[in-house]
Amino acid sequence: MATDPNILMRRYLRFTRYLPAQCTALTPEETEPRPLRGITRNVNAGGLEILLPEALPVNTMLSVCISASDPLPGHVVSVSEGIPTLLGTRFPHGVAFEEPVDPSVVRQWVSQPKKRAHVRAPVQFEVEYTQGGTTGHGTCLNLSLGGMFIVTDHPAAPETEIVLDFTLPSLSDPLSVRARVAWVSGEDTEPRAICGMGVRFVDLTPADAVAIGSLVGNLSEEASVPTFSESSPPTQ
C-alpha cells in the first residue's frame, strides 16, 4: 500500500523559515514546465510548505531551488486557500520531495541567518525608525529577509528593539516591522565606516516576508550582492 506523502513529511523535524525559492512547475495538463517564484514557510527533509502566486493542482510536479541549492524534485500534495499579501494573494502548497534530502542540507537552510546566507540585494528607500517615543530617519541600502542596513547619522544602540516603517519600491502600502539593532558603524573608532546600523527583523508576518522576499529575489537577479549586510558593517 502506498504511503501518504503528508505522513512522510511529518516524519521529519519541521522548521519555520521564510526563504526565497525558484520553482519549475509542470501540471498534469501542461506539456512544458514554467517558472514560478515562491517563499517557503516550513521546511524539513521530506518536503516543505511554500507560498506561490497561483494555486497548483495536487500532484503537480515541482522542482524547487532554495538559496541557490541544486533543484529538488517533488510534487504538490496539498493546496490551501489564498492568503492576502501586499503583492496579492499567495497560496500555501504542501510539497513532498521525491526523495528525502540529506539532513545537512536542511541544517544549512535553517542556519542561514546565523551564517549571513540570506540572499541580499542593494536597494535605496527611506526608513523611519522609532524607539521609546523617539523617531529617527535613514536610508536603507541593503535588504534581505533577515534584515537591512540603514544609513543614518543617529543610529540606535546595539540590541535596541525598534519599529521600522517603510514602503518597498514598486509597492504603495507601507510596512511596519519590528527589528533589533545588531551593530552600529561610523563611531569615532571607525572613521572610515559609513555611519549607520545593521538591524535584524523580529517575527516577520507571512505577508511581510512574502513582500520582502519577492523584492529581494527580483533584485538579486539583476545586481551583484554588496559587500555589507545586516550582520557585518560596511566601509567606504
> 156 with 131: CB under 8 angstroms?
yes
Distance CA 166, CA 140 (A): 9
**pLDDT on residue 145:** 87
* 3-state SS assignment for residue 37: strand
Identify the architecture of domain 115-220 in CATH.
Beta Barrel (2.40)
> Residue 228 above 70 pLDDT?
no
Distance CA 19, CA 67 (A): 7
Q: Where in the chain are all domains bearing CATH 2.40.10.220?
A: 5-110, 115-220
* 3-state SS assignment for residue 60: coil
**pLDDT on residue 50:** 92
Cell of 10: 511529518
What mean pLDDT comes out for the span 224-228? 37
Digit-coded pLDDT (tens) for 43-65 = 899 999 999 999 999 999 999 98
Distance CA 121, CA 152 (A): 19
Percent composition of the chain: helix, strand, coil (DSSP 3-state, to 5): 15, 45, 40
> Residue 69 above 90 pLDDT?
no
What mean pLDDT comes out for the span 84-99? 85
User: Positive or negative, the Cα torsion across 202, 169, 150, 119?
Assistant: positive
The residues near 32 (Cβ < 8 Å, ≥ 6 apart) are: 26
Distance CA 134, CA 198 (A): 18
Digit-coded pLDDT (tens) for 156-204 = 888 889 999 999 987 888 999 999 998 887 654 444 457 888 899 998 8
* 3-state SS assignment for residue 163: strand
Structural class in CATH, domain 5-110: mainly beta
> 106 with 47: CB under 8 angstroms?
no
Digit-coded pLDDT (tens) for 97-106 = 999 988 888 8
Q: Per-residue confidence at 79, pLDDT binned at 50, 70, 90? A: very high
> 14 with 43: CB under 8 angstroms?
yes
